[in-house]
Structure 1
């Protein structure tokens, strides 16, 4: 308890913020480099950043702590593939950030002095991290007494005490955070916005354009009427090659699934089991034991108020007599039966305090119970409960408050504790034993009054039988035996199987669209070559999967073949644009207005106004950067040449520009631009540093 409990509870958080709160402004995406020759090198090398290796062992420890912290944060008892993926990315990004920033900070010579460190730990205004850990959640203020107590314990701890190591890690994270803060402050101080920048930005937001346009949309030509050549693809690719740079290796598969979900027969078998349990639950004299023996979910029996039960039970049990049994009924993926064990009227909330004794240090449970009884008699004889709590209670957090736990409702405490305080009355002393130790409890007050029920629920999930699973697996195995690299699609069609696609997944992914538990399949994909079939039938939940690797996108600029399908719509539009441009050019011959061009081209002239350069949207269409940019650089009353936009090909004529009032004070405008620059700066700085750091990521080989 005490300092050790405090640090243990927060150790995951301490590691998450190791590089300080400044880093969280720019957690960036991963950069993956895959090397087939990796295994011949350092087997513990998970990655490399700017020449510094990241070891698998260190990463695993931090990942485990991050996963545990996130499970606590999101209230999950077990990790999910999605949470694991998120934790992996967070941990990796933190490691990359830590190394990059450390090297930059060392390069520019940023330090945090002894006095500065002391001020951040115990000064008048401690660091944000220290304040976070020692803030009283009820008052929102720093608990200076708690902080001082921890500092005192650290100073008096003996050498080798794990508490010292844990505290040092917290202090190190505070120092690293301060260094990062100084680094970014230094960079921010180099950003500058002058008056000309402010004037340009002001006009871009406030100068209004009024113009008339005509458009021939790309949709006016059917895609199947367009002949797209290899040269068209090559030209588009060459002009936009910068858009096809991949910062990580990606892979794609085609796959089919053979469903091993529970059959109707499986469901009927589970229901039959539950039917047999109904009589047993009705006649049970120990409902808690019956639940523990027969239920899949072995939840303790506690009193619950209306609204706390699942909807199917809530309306039934509050109007039933004790002993009533309901079910079997379906709830989610399970059959359930429920028995109303008891109902009563009880308080809605309780205010209580306690003294927690540790049986291990008291000589056993019996002696701890006897000690609690002695303390109770001492309190009844006039001793202060608060003073005894501060002296004897193992729950140091409440002990500092005289054992006070505040006011709480049902469901806030463990069952044995809750039963004691809600079933007693104000002024009672209760002694109970739990997994935390022996509690001496005083019920200070009770508020409210409402009906509560205690319900025993027995559940059985509907799982696929061995017969169902075997049948699905046999079909998958038969399909795998019938396919090769060249006939996957054909065999799937003949078998009546739908081909699904999982595109552009990374080497550390643990799930895919439609496949939650796909880690082993991902590992196979990153060991295989394009066109390869799986080496075995893979399992994902209640599905058996047969897959083919269809694409490998390496890190760097992707080839035309890799992006050909992706750019197909844009290439088709470019071919259409040539045809539509010729049509508008022909209609423009001899025309002096947009209206005349529109009439000859078979479209309409559309007037628009109040368009600004900073928001290049044509109402009813889309963002049109090229068109609006052209408008703001065009002369008045002159018919434009055709302009290729996002939605089609345009011609326009500018009717007028309305200039805003002159900008007399640039201070406010410069501040707004500076704020925008600062918001983007950290991301841009980090991206540039990461590119330069030559990040190598071998996680696909380990995770």
Structure 2
């Protein structure tokens, strides 16, 4: 377990550095295998990936495994809802990757052998993940003996065994994908013709003048698009109009907020506590820990570091005097002056850290006493720190921590350093172990104040909660149709909110807190249905379903105007191209053509084929290509771009030497990059995936 504890601190980056494949889930007993009907099985199917069915039990086992791994890495005993949702999404993506890539590996006979795995773990080419986990903390070098010892001992520790199995499967999956992608990379090549073409494009920089005929110069009624043209475009480009299933809702929120009566009750409660809080015999810090909504902060602060209201109080108050109640940050507060001290802003110290030995709890304390005795008899602190201190960061510097401000160290260490005297050598216990501290120097002391602040956040009472709930219930009862819902909102001047294009797996609707149930309801309701009253955080919500969009191809009626606009623009480009071409063939200069088109001649300098955009034109790859490949001092043909139609006149061309070998290497890296970033995405796009997660989460 000791080794596992150490590698946990390094394991947090594992998920990020991997391709994203996870350990295959523990195979659970099929609860539906005996006497189950096909209908029952389909009810428990969370996914179908390329014909392979995945049950909710298997998927949840995978999620649970990922949650356990995350808890081990973070040291946390529980995960919040946001993290669980994130891990669920990650498990989903990894499930898809494993299934679709597993088919590819099996088809091509790609595998990772036992010998290959051993080489990745203990060989000469250790996998980066293993190298990171088992590096020597002092030297940073990989320690193969640590790996071997861990592998020998993990069988006696189920937690360590689980952790290792998870990591091992990740590196196997990463190596499988690496082999597959390497096959594609090796099958691609950069041809000499490609290199030559790219080099020629890069070795030319041009200065040019240009005129743009913008589409806005032609009114919509000057061109026309027929119904037949729209239908033909629609039929030939159906992929453009694919849509996911979605829902639109309108909803009303009833916010549960503290009333003035709630505020006054909180203030009165604090007034009742004021007498006890100001009692010198009562420990102010303990009183705050028990009764306050804000934690006790024992730091000593200068008056100028305090809020103006409190500053005026502390500079004239007596010790244990209490100020308040006063209102700040939605909280009523009482502040007690607990101490005034002369303290420096910073201290310089060095230390020797001795960690606790679980088998001998007194060992560190005994060694510390022996070392202090040596120091008191003239021993060199720096040499002892280098020899004995387990704080490796400071030990190499003789234990020197440099100058530090109050609050930068844990409290016992902080107190010993700031309240001790220059030159003192003191022993202190903290959660890190036993420290021997040498206070080397202290800054100039100034007056500082320690305060204890008792705070009670103003929250709504149960009566306020009931009143708002009753209001929501009454609204829902009286306005139980979509028409009544909208009429009431208008008559009562309420604020309607909208949730548009909700997908079945969405977990967010506006600013609502965890509104997953509302999304699920939207996919079960019919247009015009009103939802039950939902409670999300401090809000009650009533919604109406306004629209349903089914998965598939958008109806022509929904995209008709979009297609018409595209076709109108295309026809405008055709008209403008013809006009500009005629102007050019008439023998006019670029300036004369610009004047006849009521445009201006614009200029661009130093443009090469790699230019992303042209000033005055925007992102126009067609314009860049036209300029680079047009002859010098000749008017080009008219070419349509994204934003209009262009004529170009190149005024200067400069040739530059281009390293063709460097170009070839860059093109090769581009190909390799495309494989890395697009391969998995492309395979996923071609897969047949049925996502039923919304039925379960």
Determine if the TM-score, normalized by the shorter chain, exceeds 0.5.
Answer: yes
Give the structure 2 partner of residue 456 of structure 1: 452
Aligned to 1:142: 141
* Distance in 1 of aligned mates of 2:340 and 2:290: 23
Kept in 2, the 8 Å contact 1:324–1:339? The answer is: yes
Query: Judging changes above 3 Å, is the alpha-carbon distance between structure 1 residues 447 and 397 closer, same or farther for their aligned structure 2 residues?
Result: closer
Higher relative contact order (CA 8 A, sep 6+): 1
Please, which of 51, 61, 64 is the counterpart of residue 58 of structure 1? 61
The structural deviation recorded for 1:686 is 0.6
Q: Work out which of the residue numbers 176, 184, 203 in structure 1 matches 2:173.
A: 176
Q: What residue in structure 2 maps to residue 91 of structure 1?
A: 91
TM-score, normalisation: structure 1: 0.75
Larger CA deviation: 667-676 vs 170-179: 170-179
In the other structure, the counterpart of 2:533 is 537
Q: Which residue in 2 is equivalent to 1:259? A: 255
Go from structure 1 to structure 2 and tell me whether the alpha carbon gap of 1:522 and 1:672 turns closer, same or farther (over 3 Å shift).
same
Give the structure 1 partner of residue 427 of structure 2.
Answer: 429
CA distance 1:217–1:323, shift in 2 (3 Å): farther
Structure 2 CA distance for aligned equivalents of residues 261 and 229 of structure 1: 57
Change in 2 beyond 3 A, CA 1:489/1:152? same
How do 1:636-675 residues align onto structure 2 when only pairs under 5 Å count? 643=640, 646-647=642-643, 649-650=644-645, 652-656=646-650, 661=655, 665-675=659-669
* Structure 1 residue 100 corresponds to structure 2 residue 100: yes
| Shift in Å, 1:213 | 1.9
Deviation at 1:132, TM superposition (A): 2.2
Asked if structure 2 preserves the Cα contact closer than 8 Å seen for 1:354 and 1:405, the reply is no
- 2:677 paired with 1:683: yes
Q: SS at 1:670's partner residue?
A: helix
Give 2:615's match in structure 1, choosing from 599, 603, 619.
Answer: 619
Q: Residues 47 and 160 (structure 1 numbering): CA distance in 2 closer, same or farther, change over 3 Å?
A: same
Alpha-carbon contact 2:580-2:647 (below 8 Å) kept: no
> Normalising by structure 2, what TM-score?
0.75
Q: Does the Cα contact within 8 Å between 2:208 and 2:627 map onto a contact in 1?
A: no
Counterpart in 2 of 1:341? 338
1:256 counterpart SS class: strand
Once the two structures are superposed, what CA deviation does each residue of 1:239-271 show, in whole Å capped at 9, x if it has no partner?
65333334x544332323333333444444434
Superimposed CA distance per residue, residues 22-50 of structure 1 (whole angstroms, 9 cap, x where no aligned partner): 459xxxxxxxxxxxx99843565433434
Superposed CA offset, 1:570-621 (max 9, x none) = 74475477579768967987783465565555x3233333455544634234
For structure 1, list consecutive stretches of 5 or more residues without a partner in the other structure.
Answer: 25-36, 363-367
SS at 1:620's partner residue?
Answer: coil
Distance of aligned partners of 1:65 and 1:574 in 2 relative to their CA distance in 1, 3 Å threshold: farther
Distance in 1 of aligned mates of 2:97 and 2:4: 29
Within 5 Å, which residues of 2 pair with 1:332-481? 332-344=329-341, 345=343, 348=347, 351-356=351-356, 358=358, 407=401, 411=407, 415=411, 419=415, 426-430=424-428, 439-444=433-438, 448-449=442-443, 454-481=450-477
Deviations 1:635-686 (A, max 9, x none): 985686684x544x43x33323755537664211111122222222223211
What is the distance in 2 between the residues matched to 1:693 and 1:654? 46
Aligned mates of 1:632, 1:152 — CA distance in 2: 64
Does 1:197 find its partner at 2:198? no
Give SS of 1:60's match. Answer: helix
Q: 1:192 to 1:117 in 2, by over 3 A?
A: same
Whether contact under 8 Å (2:331, 2:456) holds in the other structure is yes
Please identify, of 545-554 and 62-71, the stretch whose mean Cα deviation from structure 2 is larger: 62-71
Cα distance in 1 for partners of 2:111, 2:399 equals 43
2:502 corresponds to: 505
**Structure 1 605/40 Cα, relative in aligned 2: closer, same or farther at 3 Å?**
farther
1:287 deviates by: 1.0
Work out which of the residue numbers 214, 218, 222 in structure 1 matches 2:216: 218
Contact 1:585 1:642 in 2 (8 A): no
Match of 2:542 among 540, 546, 551: 546
Seen in structure 2, the aligned counterparts of structure 1 residues 190 and 613 have a Cα distance that, compared at 3 Å, is same
* Contact 1:47–1:699 (Cα < 8 Å) also in 2: yes
Contact preservation (8 Å) 2:71, 2:78:
no
Tell me the SS of whatever aligns to 1:283: coil
Match of 1:518 in 2: 515
Deviates more, 1:539-548 or 1:574-583: 574-583
Aligned residue runs from structure 1 range 61-80, under 5 A: 61-65=64-68, 68=71, 79=80
Q: Structure 1 185/326 Cα, relative in aligned 2: closer, same or farther at 3 Å? A: farther
CA distance in 2 between counterparts of 1:467 and 1:227 reads 66
- Cα distance in 1 for partners of 2:323, 2:553 equals 63
